[in-house]
Structure 1
């Protein structure tokens, strides 16, 4: 599976990054049933049209994840492109029979490709990207008379001479003379790996997709559960509550059988049917 075979839009083909983001946000989000059907078609029949629809419906996820890595000075469009490669790899490796949504599976592959791209380009970041920054870059190099950091008075003097703000001078000086930082730990010490920059490239709790997943879990644990219980008849609801929601002293099949004057096997059947009905209610 290649980007050419899927032909999904890229920023350059749509004129600008803003147009691209607007385009991918218009692609519909697949329901669980639609996603399962498409994934099976691709997994079992190598149907590239099914794979294309899976990719298109998750492009907005790549945009959201890529936005969390903008602090590394790399173009958002390039980060998205690399994330799209990870998304295609995820679709190719996704097994629809495992009971996991593609969005959860794809996050790992998208981040892995973006991490690899950052690692490869960390030392290639441009010091000056705009015309104003390039002008400041050359002027600052010519005006600075020593190798050490500029004093506050020197910063103010250069800012007045170059007709820029002191913050601009300080920022360019940092770019010019700041030391490279390794994203990965250089030793085998486990602690050093835990605190290396690669370990905190992006804050997981700050990503939109993580926030969406957290809210969905909260909904399922409260409102969703209450609605699923309401879909049951009184006896089935009592059995589920006694068996699954009473953490301190859950009832046994025999206790409930005695309560309702039926066999333990009949209680088990009612319980299984109720759980199946609740799963169906929670999936909608």
Structure 2
């Protein structure tokens, strides 16, 4: 019996990798992608980047102009994520199997989460530009909608993982719905929810750069401006600042997670 299980797993793995190989080769043939040229171009790209894409003394002079844009991007990402988290918490409580009020609210909440989560932030930015043009509000709303879908889904799963023992104990004592939420569900779920919130902030800071290119705001717009002017030294400085910011945010988030989890 055990040998049959191992044989089945090995056959399933073989079928999976064979299908993946066929799909990869088929994609290369259909798109006419030159694999050899792609790999040989890596060396040329590294040489060009080392020769042109680095901050120099001249680019450092524009640092006072870039830092406010970076600050705008970070603050916009944090604001969009935290506001979305509040609404996501309400939707997750209505949609969770553990805390839902009725089936209709649960279906609506899960539908909203699926819709917003499956639309990329870039698509949100492009759609919203039709109504709000290129403005900070467009970037904020794009990050907000993307965060709302992801956090609602994440919060629902977190609440569903909460043990029912404390909930059943409160129900047995005749506790009200809101009493159960604030005394059992939220205290048990909050550490993991905060972890998801921090993860979403990190993700949105990265995504805000691309959104800024589309909406003409923040650090993304600065990168797009310098890059299109062929000022690669200034553009590389923007990239370096983004990388440093993301690393710092990630370190802070990891320290907070160690404390709360």
- With the length of structure 1 as denominator, give the TM-score of the two structures: 0.25
Q: Which has the higher contact order (CA 8 A, sep 6+)?
A: 2
- With the length of structure 2 as denominator, give the TM-score of the two structures: 0.27
Point out the structure with max Rg over C-alpha: 1
Higher relative helix content: 2
